[in-house]
């Protein structure tokens, strides 16, 4: 039996939504968004083929709450055409608030999961979510697809000589290991600490052997860029050759992209889960493959 898909993308993911639709040979339904002077969004979209599987594609990067509310609104309205709605949230905002770290903190990810389910999502698809624990808050089928193979493919074409993959912290060790295996090279992991109250980052590693090597710093999310900047500065002091940065989600808040390059990074490569200057890697194929 041939599965019929339809794709609707919110304002945060229009290009990615169109790419996914083309790969699935599915109709793309334009969601038109009008933002009023007070910040309210009004969304309208055309007819959708009845009983198709509807993919609502909307990353929830800044403005996070606006993009999240748009996703919820589209999902809710799409229920008029189908009961099979997949929420494709390539970048899932609030995924870092998946548990209580300090007393009194709200676990916002649990609330977001409930809202998406209540709106009508029957499945959730994300890309390289920050923590698998975040997905545990969903009581519907969920899938976390990886952009690492696509990112590695991009760097493979660059044909770097004497390359070494680096994780800026222990939490990203498995990601760096996978990336390095795809490039057929080695990897190292730096030790990092972050003050939970101030957010200040410190590299605790004392010395690493990176002399003369091209380094690829691999991370899932770059927000302020503090971790990557501290890592790049540390690695530069160790006499490495060039430093490249690869990440799935390039938020780059507070002028982060400029600050990262100022720290000595030759090039930053991210995916189109969040559109921007560095979004050179397309994740539409891995998303389309995951829903087929």
Q: pLDDT tens digits, residue range 134-155?
A: 999 999 999 999 999 999 999 9
pTM of the model: 0.93
Regarding whether 164 and 252 lie in a shared domain, the answer is yes
Q: What mean pLDDT comes out for the span 235-246?
A: 94
Whether 112 maps to a domain, the answer reads yes
| Residue tagged active-site, from 84, 142, 192, 213 | 192
Regarding whether 230 and 103 lie in a shared domain, the answer is no
Whether 278 maps to a domain, the answer reads no
Regarding whether 153 and 23 lie in a shared domain, the answer is no
Regarding whether 168 and 53 lie in a shared domain, the answer is no
Whether 264 maps to a domain, the answer reads yes
Task: List beta partners, residue 56.
Answer: 8, 87
CB-hemisphere CA count at 13 Å for 151? 33
Distances (CA, A) of 122 to 87, 155, 207, 238, 270: 8, 36, 49, 50, 29
Whether 159 maps to a domain, the answer reads yes
Res 86: pLDDT:
98
> How many other C-beta atoms can be found within 10 angstroms of the C-beta atom of residue 74?
25
Q: pLDDT tens digits, residue range 80-139?
A: 999 999 999 999 999 999 999 888 999 999 999 999 999 999 999 999 999 889 999 999
Regarding whether 156 and 90 lie in a shared domain, the answer is no
Regarding whether 96 and 43 lie in a shared domain, the answer is yes
Q: pLDDT tens digits, residue range 207-224?
A: 788 999 999 999 999 999
Q: pLDDT tens digits, residue range 29-46?
A: 989 999 999 989 999 998
Regarding whether 172 and 130 lie in a shared domain, the answer is no
Regarding whether 142 and 13 lie in a shared domain, the answer is yes
Distances (CA, A) of 94 to 56, 150, 222: 18, 24, 14
Regarding whether 255 and 157 lie in a shared domain, the answer is yes
DSSP reduced 3-state for 75: helix
Regarding whether 267 and 239 lie in a shared domain, the answer is yes
Concerning whether 262 is annotated as a catalytic residue, the answer is: no
Regarding whether 163 and 136 lie in a shared domain, the answer is no
> How many other C-beta atoms can be found within 10 angstroms of the C-beta atom of residue 100?
10
Helix (H) or strand (E) holding 204: none
Q: Which CATH number do you get for residue 264?
A: 3.40.50.2020
Q: What mean pLDDT comes out for the span 276-288?
A: 98
Q: How far is 190 from 219, CA to CA, in rounded Å?
A: 12
How many structural domains compose the chain?
2
Which residues form the domain of 130?
A: 5-146+283-291
Residue 236 has pLDDT above 70, yes or no: yes
Whether 233 maps to a domain, the answer reads yes
Residue 57 has pLDDT above 90, yes or no: yes
Regarding whether 113 and 223 lie in a shared domain, the answer is no
């Amino acid at each position: 039996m041939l599965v019929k898909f339809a794709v609707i993308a919110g304002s945060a993911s229009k290009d990615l939504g169109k790419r996914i639709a083309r790969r699935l040979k599915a109709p793309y339904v334009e969601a038109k968004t009008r933002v009023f002077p007070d910040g309210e969004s009004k969304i309208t979209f055309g007819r959708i083929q009845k009983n198709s599987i509807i993919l609502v594609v909307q990353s929830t990067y800044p403005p996070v709450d606006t993009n999240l509310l748009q996703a919820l609104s589209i999902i809710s309205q799409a229920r008029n055409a189908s009961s099979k709605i997949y929420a494709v949230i390539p970048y899932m905002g609030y995924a870092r608030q998946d548990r209580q770290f300090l007393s009194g903190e709200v676990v916002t990810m649990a609330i977001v999961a409930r809202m998406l389910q209540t709106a009508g999502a029957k499945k959730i698809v994300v890309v390289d979510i920050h923590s698998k624990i975040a997905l545990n808050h969903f009581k519907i089928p969920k899938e976390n697809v990886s952009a690492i193979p696509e990112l590695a493919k991009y760097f493979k074409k660059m044909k770097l000589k004497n390359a070494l993959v680096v994780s800026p912290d222990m939490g990203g060790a498995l990601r760096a290991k996978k990336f390095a295996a795809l490039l057929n090279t080695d990897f190292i992991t730096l030790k990092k600490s972050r003050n939970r109250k101030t957010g200040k980052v410190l590299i605790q590693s004392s010395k690493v052997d990176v002399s003369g090597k091209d380094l690829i710093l691999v991370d899932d999310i770059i927000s302020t860029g503090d971790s990557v900047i501290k890592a790049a500065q540390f690695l530069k002091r160790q006499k490495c050759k060039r430093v490249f940065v690869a990440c799935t989600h390039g938020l780059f808040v507070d002028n982060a992209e400029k600050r990262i390059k100022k720290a000595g990074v030759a090039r930053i490569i991210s995916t189109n889960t969040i559109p921007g200057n560095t979004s050179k890697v397309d994740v539409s194929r891995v998303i389309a493959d995951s829903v087929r």
